[in-house]
Chains A and B, each alone.
Chain A
Amino acid sequence: MPERDIICIGCPMGCSLNVTVENGEVRSVRGNLCNRGVRYAHDEVTAPKRMVTSLIRVGDQGPPLSVRTDKPIDKALIFPCLDAIRQARVNLPVRRGDVVIERVLGTDVNIIATRDLG
């Protein structure tokens, strides 16, 4: 059975995972210290996902609005997602946690503000 060694990015521990894969399915995960590792290994083998954090420019002066995905998004969608964020317009004031883009790129992922602004 093919094996893969990956680093879990679920938390700062960065566990080295040994994953056995069969027919594109995860058979076993070793090396994880918590369940997050199992989930991560599964996603990473089948459909890798990442959190995306970025900025939206607000007006000509002043600080930009920092935003993030509210859950990990398909890795292949990172750059399209960044484009969507770049094009987003926000009305001030914004509060931490406000949804700035709903269901970005038609996924179930929202883009939320990570700071108060205005």
Chain B
Amino acid sequence: MTDRSPQEAHALPSRISLLIIGGGPAGLAAAVAAWDAGCHDLLIVERDDELGGILNQCIHNGFGLHRFKEELTGPEYAGRYIEMVRERGIPYLCSAMVLEINMRREVTLISPETGLSQIRAGAVILAMGCRERPRGALGTPGTRCAGIMTTGTAQRLTNLEGYLPGRRVVILGSGDIGLIMARRMTFEGAKVLACVEIMPYSSGLTRNVVQCLQDFNIPLMLNHTVIDIHGRERLEGVTIAAVNPDTRQPLPETAQRIDCDTLLLSVGLIPENELSRMAGVPLSPGTRGPIVDQSLATEVPGIFACGNVLHVHDLVDEVSEESARAGRAAVEWLARMKRPAAAAETVTVPVREGRGVRGLVPQYLQLTDRASFSPDETWPITFRPDDVYRGGVVLIRADGKLIQRRKTRIMTPGEMVVERLKAADLPAGPIRELTVEVEGVPQHA
């Protein structure tokens, strides 16, 4: 916050071409792409005190191999994008929260610096990211003592504020943040006793299982969960048990207590779509994010979505790529709106989840005049398999007819699959629907 007195605070414009909600990796990449596509009347709104989003607390390496061809840490990756934003002079407002948004893209936001503002945006990009599932959502029984928090909260406390949340740690869930925090806590002298995962596979990247758990002899207990929490004031221990592999119900006879002072939860990420709902944007139950077409347009005209608010990604590089597409698409949409006569008729083709496919994005294609696609245009189609598949094949069909087939080495639910659908491969003539399916033997079915 600046030391400017509130009377002098500058006001925001009442109209803007493009408003980007969220200044994390998605919002930054969307802003840069939109600027480069010619839209210079835009604003990034970020609720934290600085740009960069969750990357700022991800001090580990593993970012940027695709995007920058080198391995960076989270703050470095964010720093590169913040630099691009600053070089271009893209306006942004930190410590600012969007309070309301409607279908007409009228937005109310507040910040200590600018007070309360109401802005009418030509287009909006939703880039609010995701949040972690808390303990309450799991209904894990036991006491409600101190020492239980999500891994993301622990990561913020440790990496951005310099405080340690505990010394003897159990991690429930094996999402990437959980795995990374196992190593981080170990580096800070804590003893990480176990990483407990209810599924038969880690929900994080395999490399993180190797370099964060195995390197430090931290046991990964698959098919296990926490069934009780002990401690009146500070956490004193948890009881864990194996689960029945079919029902995922705990087996009481396998219960064992682990004494610990900290339980970190890494049990899933939830796209943060409160504002999307407020704007009337329809959501997909599969991704818990907005339903979008291949240009990342939601079903509300002029509202686009990208990054973890759309669907939870594993790799920030993919967030950047997706968000840049959203940024460009928003600019194109703004341009189209200026000359409505030119708007071509479009056909909506649903893309359906076939066997083995979960969390598919986009949920439909918007096809205009076929000639308007360049022959080498491709559209990413992303999903997660419902199980681990070795040697599985990804099939894309148009009205039952196979149009694309790709054999994979291994697919796991912990790693998003990205298919690239070539516009040129779409059959001529009308299409009713596309389906995406996985062919292969699920490892745990």
Seen from chain A, the residues whose Cβ lies within 8 Å of a Cβ on chain B are 7-12, 14-16, 31, 50-51, 53-55, 57, 62-64, 66, 68, 75, 78, 82, 96, 114-116
Contact = CB atoms under 8 A, between A and B. Distances in A.
B94 to A, nearest CB: 15
Contact of A68 (B61, B205, B209): B61
A98 to B, nearest CB: 12
B160 A63 contact: yes
Given A9-B210, A51-B61, A75 B73 contact: no
Which residue among A10, A66, A68, A116 has the maximum number of chain B CB atoms within 10 Å of its CB? A66
A106 B409 CA distance: 41
A114 B71 CA distance: 12
Contact of A96 (B79, B161, B206, B415): B79
Interface string B45-83: 000000000001001111001000001110110010000
A53 B212 CA distance: 12
3 closest A-B pairs by beta carbon, nearest first, are: A14-B206, A66-B59, A115-B75
B207 A64 contact: no
Contacts of B415: 12, 14
A14 B73 contact: no
B159 A12 contact: no
Given A12-B62, A12-B315, A114 B162 contact: no
Interface residues of B, number: 30
Contacts of A12: 62, 65, 205, 207, 314-315, 415
A55 B62 CA distance: 17
Contacts of B161: 63
Given A12-B207, A114-B59, A116-B79, 6 more contacts: A9-B211, A14-B206, A53-B73, A55-B158, A63-B160, A114-B73
Contacts of A64: 159-160, 162
A75 B216 CA distance: 11
17 contacts: A14-B210, A50-B211, A53-B59, A54-B59, A54-B187, A55-B162, A57-B162, A64-B162, A66-B75, A75-B215, A96-B76, A96-B79, A114-B72, A114-B75, A114-B76, A115-B76, A116-B79
A7 B209 CA distance: 10
B410 interface: yes
A16 B410 contact: yes
Contacts of B315: 12
Nearest to B52: A115
A53 B180 CA distance: 11
Contacts of A16: 409-410
Contacts of B162: 55, 57, 62-64
A3 to B, nearest CB: 18
A75 B145 CA distance: 37
Contacts of B158: 55
Interface string B268-299: 00000000000000000000000000000000
Interface string B404-430: 000001100001000000000000000
Contacts of B76: 96, 114-115
Given A64-B162, A66-B75, A96-B75, A50 B59 contact: no
B159 A55 contact: yes
A94 to B, nearest CB: 12
B210 A55 contact: no
A11 B301 CA distance: 38
Contacts of B79: 96, 114-116
Nearest to A117: B75
A26 B71 CA distance: 25
A116 B80 CA distance: 12
A35 B56 CA distance: 30
Nearest to A71: B71
A114 B335 CA distance: 39
A115 B79 CA distance: 7
Contacts of A10: 207
Nearest to B206: A14
A53 B61 contact: yes
